[in-house]
């Protein structure tokens, strides 16, 4: 069954590559008018040729730029039905810099974009989909800052769902496992750190890493009428990676 988002207005934060790009294109291909922001303008330009209605270079760690993007997108699209908070600062180690990147982008950009879009979402009785990670479900010695901020997003998703339910707004999240795509971190690790790559690969029952489109399909489901009675949930999309 295909999705039909004809006439819907969708914002995707962090949508120039990987999972975010697949989510944005998935909505556009299903008929939605889509706005995408990301820090690098070079990754945004090709999206307009693929059906994305509005793009804006945005540093999601900057509160004013987040608000500017949401406002411009809402004006261009004529409102907001769906907000996808997908951006990550990828702050991994236990350092001040990594913690700041994760808190600024993974957490506060989610808070700020949601708050900036809230009036529009109330008007449309729309929904929010946050992207977190299976890293948020377990401690990590390799990426403690990343794991912690993703756990925070899981918790905040449930809080948002409770806060916004009286307004008719649903809030859910997707928690991807290890996803591989051109230019992504796992493609780089395949050659730069094959021991880690192969250890992760062996831990996935299906014998491969995931693809961005497999996460995008779940994000679109959560934003669709098929999930109209689903809120406050984080859906794991990892091919069974957490089972081992």
The DSSP bridge partners found for residue 11 are: 35, 83
pLDDT the model gives residue 116:
98
Catalytic residue among 137, 146, 156, 197: 146
Q: Which two tokens stand for residue 82?
A: 């769906």
For residues 149-174, give the mean pLDDT.
98
Report pTM. 0.96
pLDDT the model gives residue 184:
86
- What is the spatial distance between Cα 195 and Cα 180, in angstroms, rounded to a whole number? 16
Q: What would the pLDDT profile of 200-234 be if each residue is shown by its tens digit?
A: 999 999 999 999 999 999 999 999 999 999 999 99
pLDDT the model gives residue 68:
98
183 vs 53: which has the higher pLDDT: 53
The reply to whether 156 belongs to the active site is: no
- What is the spatial distance between Cα 103 and Cα 227, in angstroms, rounded to a whole number? 29
Q: How far is CA 244 from CA 142, 150, 206, 226, in A?
A: 18, 20, 11, 30
For residues 136-140, give the mean pLDDT.
97
pLDDT the model gives residue 2:
85
1 vs 183: which has the higher pLDDT: 183
3 vs 2: which has the higher pLDDT: 3
- What is the spatial distance between Cα 115 and Cα 110, in angstroms, rounded to a whole number? 8
* CATH topology classification for 9-181+211-238: Rossmann fold (3.40.50)
CB environment 213-236: b (16+ within 10 A), e (fewer): ebbbbbbbbbbbeebeebbbbbbb
The answer to whether the beta carbons of residues 133 and 146 sit under 8 Å apart is yes
The DSSP bridge partners found for residue 33 are: 9
Q: What would the pLDDT profile of 70-114 be if each residue is shown by its tens digit?
A: 999 999 999 999 999 999 999 999 999 999 999 999 999 999 999
The answer to whether the beta carbons of residues 36 and 76 sit under 8 Å apart is no
- Other Cβ atoms closer than 10 A to 240: 12
- What is the spatial distance between Cα 28 and Cα 22, in angstroms, rounded to a whole number? 10
- What is the spatial distance between Cα 108 and Cα 112, in angstroms, rounded to a whole number? 6
pLDDT category of residue 182 using cuts at 50, 70 and 90: confident
Q: Which two tokens stand for residue 224?
A: 């669709």
Q: Residue 61: is its pLDDT beyond 60? A: yes
For residues 150-171, give the mean pLDDT.
98
pLDDT category of residue 25 using cuts at 50, 70 and 90: very high
Q: Residue 29: is its pLDDT beyond 90? A: yes
DSSP string, 133-163: -GGGGS--SS-HHHHHHHHHHHHHHHHHHHH
Q: Residue 1: is its pLDDT beyond 80? A: no
Q: How far is CA 185 from CA 18, 27, 182, 205, 213, in A?
A: 10, 24, 9, 21, 16
Among 128, 13, 142, CA closest to 68: 13
């Amino acid at each position: 069954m295909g999705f039909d988002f004809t006439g819907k207005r969708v914002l995707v934060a962090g949508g120039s590559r990987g999972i975010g790009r697949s989510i944005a294109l998935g909505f556009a291909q299903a008929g939605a008018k889509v706005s995408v922001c990301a820090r690098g303008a070079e990754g945004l330009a090709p999206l307009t040729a693929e059906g994305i209605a509005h793009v804006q270079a945005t540093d999601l760690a900057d509160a004013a730029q987040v608000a500017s993007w949401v406002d411009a997108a809402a004006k261009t699209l004529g409102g907001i039905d769906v907000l996808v908070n997908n951006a990550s600062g990828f702050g991994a180690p236990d350092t001040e810099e990594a913690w700041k990147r994760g808190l600024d982008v993974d957490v506060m950009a989610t808070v700020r974009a949601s708050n900036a879009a809230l009036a529009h979402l109330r008007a449309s009785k729309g929904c929010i989909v946050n992207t977190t990670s299976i890293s948020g479900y377990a401690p990590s010695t390799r990426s403690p800052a990343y794991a912690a901020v993703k756990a925070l997003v899981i918790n905040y998703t449930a809080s948002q769902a409770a806060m916004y339910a009286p307004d008719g707004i649903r809030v859910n999240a997707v928690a991807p496992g290890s996803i591989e795509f051109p230019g992504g971190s796992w493609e780089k690790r395949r050659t730069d750190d094959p021991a880690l790559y192969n250890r992760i690969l062996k831990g996935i029952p299906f014998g491969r890493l995931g693809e961005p489109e497999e996460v995008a399909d779940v994000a679109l489901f959560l934003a669709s009428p098929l999930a109209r009675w689903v809120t406050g949930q984080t859906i794991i999309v990892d091919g069974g990676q957490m089972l081992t």
